[in-house]
C-alpha cells in the first residue's frame, strides 16, 4: 500500500478519472485495466450534471469509467472490435493527457494508449528457481499454457520442462 495521497482524491466523483490514473503514475505503475463490463447509459448524473448518453466501462476494483467518443474510437481501432460488448475481458492501458480540450478549456483527461497492451512476461530460464517451481507445478496438474500466463517460455525451455525425471528405485 502506498503512502501517496493525490491532492484531488477527496473530490466527489462516482467515476474513474485522471486522478486515479495519476495515482498509478506516481507509483511508477502503468495504469493497465481489464474491462469487466460495458454498458450504454442514457440520462444519468455525473458530478451533479445530467449526461445524455455514454458508454461506461467497468474495471475490477475501480470506479466505472465514462469512455468518451475519442477513447471509444481508440479502443475500437486497437482491439479491432466495433461491438463494445466484445471488449469485455480485454486489457487496455490508460494515461493522462494534459492537453484535452473541454468546453473551450485545456484540462487533463484520461486517454487510452493507441497500441494494444501486451503484457511483458519474464523469460523462464532453465535451472532457475522459477524453472524448478514450474517443473514441479507440471507434476501437480498445471499445464504449459497455465505457465505461459506468468512466463515467456521458449521452445528449448518447454522441451526441458516436459522431460520426465529418471527415477531410480532401490530394489
| pLDDT tens digits, one per residue of 33-92 | 999 999 999 999 988 889 999 999 999 889 999 999 999 999 999 999 999 999 998 999
For the record, the C-alpha cell of 99 comes out as: 492537453
> For residue 24, what are the contacts with CB-CB under 8 A and spacing of at least 6?
30, 31
- Sheet of 49-59, strand order: 65-67, 49-59, 31-46, 91-102, 105-112
Are 15 and 57 spatial neighbours (Cβ–Cβ below 8 Å)?
Answer: no
Cross-strand bridge partners of residue 95: 111
| pLDDT tens digits, one per residue of 99-132 | 988 888 998 899 999 988 776 677 888 999 999 9
3-class secondary-structure state, position 159 = helix
**H helix or E strand, kind and range, residue 21:** helix 18-26
Largest Cα–Cα separation, the chain: 86
pTM (global) more than 0.95: no
Amino acid at each position: 500500500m502506498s503512502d501517496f495521497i493525490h491532492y484531488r482524491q477527496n473530490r466527489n466523483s462516482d467515476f474513474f478519472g485522471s486522478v486515479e490514473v495519476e495515482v498509478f503514475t506516481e507509483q511508477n505503475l502503468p495504469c493497465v485495466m481489464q474491462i469487466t463490463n460495458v454498458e450504454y447509459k442514457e440520462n444519468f448524473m455525473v458530478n451533479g450534471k445530467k449526461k445524455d448518453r455514454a458508454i461506461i466501462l467497468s474495471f475490477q476494483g475501480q470506479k466505472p469509467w465514462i469512455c468518451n467518443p475519442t477513447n471509444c474510437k481508440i479502443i475500437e481501432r486497437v482491439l479491432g472490435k466495433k461491438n463494445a460488448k466484445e471488449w469485455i475481458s480485454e486489457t487496455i492501458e490508460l494515461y493522462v493527457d494534459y492537453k484535452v480540450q473541454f468546453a473551450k478549456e485545456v484540462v487533463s483527461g484520461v486517454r487510452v494508449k493507441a497500441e494494444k497492451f501486451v503484457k511483458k512476461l519474464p523469460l523462464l530460464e532453465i535451472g532457475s528457481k522459477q524453472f524448478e517451481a514450474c517443473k514441479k507445478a507440471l507434476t501437480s496438474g498445471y499445464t504449459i499454457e497455465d505457465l505461459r500466463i506468468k512466463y515467456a517460455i521458449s521452445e528449448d525451455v518447454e522441451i526441458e520442462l516436459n522431460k520426465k525425471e529418471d527415477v531410480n528405485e532401490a530394489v
